[in-house]
Amino acid sequence: MSEHSVIHDIGYQRYTGPRLGRAYAARSLFEHGVRVAFGLGRSAKAKIFPWIVIGLVTSLAVIVVAVKAQSGEMILTYQDLPSTASVLVMVFLAVVAPELVSRDLRNQTLPLYFSRPIRRSDYALAKLAALTTAVWLLMAGPQLLMFLGSAFSAADTAGVAAEARGMLGGWVIATCYALVFSSLAILIASIASRRAFAAGAIVVVFMITSPVVGLLAVLGKGGALSQIAPMFSPFSLPEGVRSWLFDTSIPIGPYGPLYGLMTVLLVAGCTLLLLLRYRKVSL
């Protein structure tokens, strides 16, 4: 112990710069979520599964463009693409949704997030928005590819404009799919802390409903039951909306607005449950 104890100034300073706050933190979380969905900035292992699915959906679009260039026939319209790819999109959800939320639960990193200036609802909504964006890109990207392929082989500007309108219609349907699929999937994944189990649960919920709807549609014999039944599966609900908006898909009779309402209710209900889940989450 020396005679004269002194406190040395070793250069600690207060931070006086701008504090970026809640909106910035939420935006960063969203951006990070979209990157995680595609495995960007992660190891090659994390890229395998998302890019297998992206490759398969893109190859669908490439086949459509190739057939159109050869024979001039469009084997799959812009609006058909989401329903044709819907099973692949479900696999994408099973890969990405647990990656987004289950890891944070399992590794108990939530306290780190919530010690920043974001609210619990910001976290949940940022994750949902990231998944919705990723799923939308998964469908809209190949649709854009189809547009580019068709636009270059179109005869005149009117042809290109018609293709552009077709693509925008396809994007509307893709948005509908993205909202329904991701709100349901992220809710399921947010309950399971183990990634493997979350993936299984998502696929179970999605796949168990299709045969049920198929049977009900057969039982209805084209009557009211057959027109309402598709509402109860996430695979066929967006198709009902498509019939309502564009009249190009499954027969739904006069129940179009009901499909629109059901979609809104499902998305809103899942989002609400997700917010409640993170209100109660154990840290």
Cβ(137)–Cβ(160) under 8 Å? no
Under rule CB under 8 A, residue 196 binds another protein = yes
283 binds another protein per the rule CB under 8 A: no
Length of the chain (residues): 283
Q: How far apart are CA 51 and CA 76, in angstroms?
A: 22
The region, left, alpha or beta by phi > 0 then psi within -120 to 50, assigned to residue 43 is beta
Specify whether the CB–CB gap between 143 and 212 falls below 8 A.
no
Closer to another protein at the Cβ: 52 or 69? 52
Asked whether position 203 contacts another protein by CB under 8 A, the answer is yes
Nearer to another protein, 22 or 42 (CB): 42
Distance of closest approach, residue 281 Cβ to another protein, in angstroms: 17
Q: Are 187 and 274 in contact (CB under 8 A)?
A: yes
The distance of closest approach from Cβ of residue 20 to another protein in the complex, given in angstroms and rounded to an integer, is 29
Give the residue among 283, 77, 116, 264 at the shortest CA–CA distance from 183.
Answer: 264
Determine, following the binding rule CB under 8 A, whether residue 23 of this chain makes contact with another protein. Answer: no
Burial class (CB in 10 A: 0-12, 13-18, 19+), 265: exposed
46 near another protein, judged by CB under 8 A: yes
**Residue of 60, 167, 187, 199 that binds another protein (CB under 8 A):** 199
Member of 194, 273, 275, 277 binding another protein (CB under 8 A):
194
Return the closest-CA partner of residue 102 out of 200, 177, 30: 200
* Contacting another protein within 70-89 (CB under 8 A): 87-88
Residues near another protein, by CB under 8 A: 42-43, 45-46, 49, 52, 56, 87-88, 90-91, 94-95, 192, 194-197, 199-201, 203-204, 207-208, 211-212, 214-215, 218-219
